[in-house]
Structure 1
């Protein structure tokens, strides 16, 4: 259950779309990590390291600034304000029909790392496959989802319209602990997983199994396991 779940919030789809419309004619930037996708995966920032809308970089622990665009999107600002913790990168991410985000992992984006990423779908369709750790998440407009993106994940838009999400990176705090507990997050399981991470014998076994797989995703996970042991 700790891999992903829907949070107990639901936002107004019409208001989300109205703010999205203010952004569609602006300069959206190709996602910087082009090896991770095929097709068109673009972003525009509401909060970024430089404060510019074209700055899509997201690094846990960096300093972030609201962009001028956020001031024009009052409902986005209301949604963001309702998430009662410190915010890092905040972006709109658009994936065009026929585009695929390849299976990959993101460093330090599990809740136990102290950071977490939320997805709020604004525009989507039933033919979007959002896969996290081999599970297909069915996200609907206005919902708010957490997933542990340090696990293997991918997205394929097999529909006819762009899939556009509001994506909010946050720092864990007491408020988020309470909300996650309400949503079904198991803190005992988190402790167990943390202790396994720190067990050198268990980690060595995991790395051996991943080396046998000999895939790009397996190699990324090996790097992640080794960096967490430093």
Structure 2
């Protein structure tokens, strides 16, 4: 059965996966650099030529949106993080996982409202991005269409990021999320649909 995008009735869906945020945070702490600007990224899965410079740069593509323009490899950071690797493996046993990152937002920082035009199921050639919060603070808010998404550590969410979204961190600690991008297939589409 193929997902009909019109069957989605909300811009945010909590999926039936739960991960150990404490283990994720322990491994994040081993990877994070000491100094960083307001926002930093630790790549865990990246285009193959960025992970292994001996590989050729991929040829130009007509459309980069769906992640099929290159091969993707685990970075050394992911290979050295057994629990984070198990989280990625949970999804790649079902579909092709492309970009995976740890996203770190400094205390007191904000991400201005924006849209990501290729991160929604309603787009023909798109990537599905799942978000797993690793840390939580009541003063950290992820806004989607001007309303807060009540994400908790270890939960896994599909968010319609083609819609306007923003993040505020009014706390005194950093906020850390993991994002996992994947090529849409019937398994993940139906998981999202059935989780509404």
**What TM-score, normalized to structure 1?**
0.68
Residues 124-149 of structure 1 deviation map (CA, whole Å, 9 limit, x = unaligned): 21111111112211211101111011
Distance in 2 (alpha carbons) for counterparts of 1:59 and 1:95: 25
The two structures, once aligned, show a CA RMSD in angstroms of 1.9
Residues 160-188 of structure 1 deviation map (CA, whole Å, 9 limit, x = unaligned): 1100001111111111022112211xxxx
Structure 1 segments, 4+ long, off by >4 Å, are none
Q: Residue 92 of structure 1 corresponds to which residue in structure 2?
A: 102
Residue 153 of structure 1, CA deviation: 0.6
Q: Residue 193 of structure 1 corresponds to which residue in structure 2?
A: none
Instruction: List alignment gaps of at least 5 residues for structure 1.
Output: 31-39, 53-57, 185-230
Instruction: List alignment gaps of at least 5 residues for structure 2.
Output: 1-8, 53-63
Bigger radius of gyration: 1
Q: Residue 177 of structure 1 corresponds to which residue in structure 2?
A: 189
- Give 1:157's match in structure 2, choosing from 161, 169, 175: 169
Residues 183-227 of structure 1 deviation map (CA, whole Å, 9 limit, x = unaligned): 11xxxxxxxxxxxxxxxxxxxxxxxxxxxxxxxxxxxxxxxxxxx
Residues 94-148 of structure 1 deviation map (CA, whole Å, 9 limit, x = unaligned): 0011111001111211012242111111122111111111221121110111101
Q: 1:60 touches 1:88 (CA, 8 Å); kept in 2?
A: no
Higher helix share: 1
Q: 2:132 touches 2:179 (CA, 8 Å); kept in 1?
A: yes
Residue 59 of structure 1, CA deviation: 5.5
**What TM-score, normalized to structure 2?**
0.80
- Give 1:6's match in structure 2, choosing from 11, 14, 18: 14
Residues 39-85 of structure 1 deviation map (CA, whole Å, 9 limit, x = unaligned): x0110100112127xxxxx9542422211111101111111111121
Residue 18 of structure 1, CA deviation: 2.0
Q: 2:158 touches 2:192 (CA, 8 Å); kept in 1?
A: no
